Amino acid sequence: MPIAKIAPSMLSSDFASLAAEAHRMVKNGADWLHMDVMDGHFVPNITIGAPVIQSLRKHTNVFLDCHMMVSNPEKWVDDFTKAGASLYCFHIEATNEPEALIEQVKKAGMKVGVAVKPKTPIETIFPLVDKVDMCLVMTVEPGFGGQKFMVDCMPKVQALREKFPDLDIEVDGGLSPDTIDSAAQAGANVIVAGTSVFKSENPKDIISVFREKVESVQSKS
Ligand SMILES: O=C(CO)[C@H](O)[C@H](O)COP(=O)(O)O
């Protein structure tokens, strides 16, 4: 299993102080920052777009993991490349031509990920796995932070891990010290968390717990 990466979801940060929040997370042990891009069409919420990524990029070199909860993900590849996104993770449900999109993202120079919503069978993305850098298994319905972790998505993570031992597998939604065990045991190694990290008085401790749980599973495998 690849190494643990902890990616606080900036959706739960104070957007008015985005650069300071980013620095605070990195200082507290974040490996990546998770940027939730929502268009009000693929999901019922609107958040940020490429201009925000571009502004943040001027303040940090950290890996920006952009979760594209958008319809027509093909449309935004150039803008996000120019803005400085590190990884462009599109939803399989949002495109009919995933292979062409993967090529487009790679050619643009970003890492590429593919995400599945809770109700999408994991087998849908099996044919794409050897072409992408990461797979994201959503553990809430995409659209909002602060929702309850869906433990019934764990067999999907497990199936993916069994078939692809070296794959970066990300989980996103409702991750906290109470739910990390099942995600880590299923084989997730990239942990996204918004509410639990940003609402904590000690984000460093929460980030450390996530890392320890993933590493403890890894040491036994
Ligand atoms: O993709 C998302 C919502 O669609 C968020 O990244 C996710 O929900 C993280 O927030 P929290 O940890 O509060 O659940």
Q: Is 17 annotated as a binding residue?
A: no
CATH number of the domain within which 165 lies: 3.20.20.70
Contact 85, 66 (CB under 8 A): yes
- Tens of pLDDT along the chain (221 residues) come to 899 999 999 999 999 999 999 999 999 999 999 999 999 999 999 999 999 999 999 999 999 999 999 999 999 999 999 999 999 999 999 999 999 999 999 999 999 999 999 999 999 999 999 999 999 999 999 999 999 999 999 999 999 999 999 999 999 999 999 999 999 999 999 999 999 999 999 999 999 999 999 999 999 88
Which residue out of 14, 31, 36, 130 is catalytically annotated?
36
The closest-lying atom of ligand 1 relative to the alpha carbon of residue 138 is 1
Q: What is the pTM of this model?
A: 0.98
C-alpha 127 – ligand 1 centre gap (Å): 26
Render 190-212 in DSSP notation, one character per residue.
EEEESHHHHT-S-HHHHHHHHHH
For residue 168, indicate whether it is catalytic: no
Token digits for 125?
């993305």
**Interface confidence: ipTM more than 0.95:** yes
Q: Is 23 annotated as a binding residue?
A: no
Beta sheet of 87-91, edge-to-edge order: 5-8, 190-193, 168-172, 134-138, 111-116, 87-91, 63-69, 32-38
Q: What are phi and psi of 110, to 5 degrees?
A: -100, 160
Number of domains in the chain: 1
Neighbours of 50 (CB within 10 A): 18
What is the pLDDT at residue 1?
87
One-letter amino acid for residue 18 of the chain: L
Ligand 1 neighbours (beta carbon < 6 A): 9, 11-12, 34, 36, 67, 140, 142-147, 172-175, 192-196
Domain holding 116, by residue range, is 5-220
What is the pLDDT at residue 191?
99
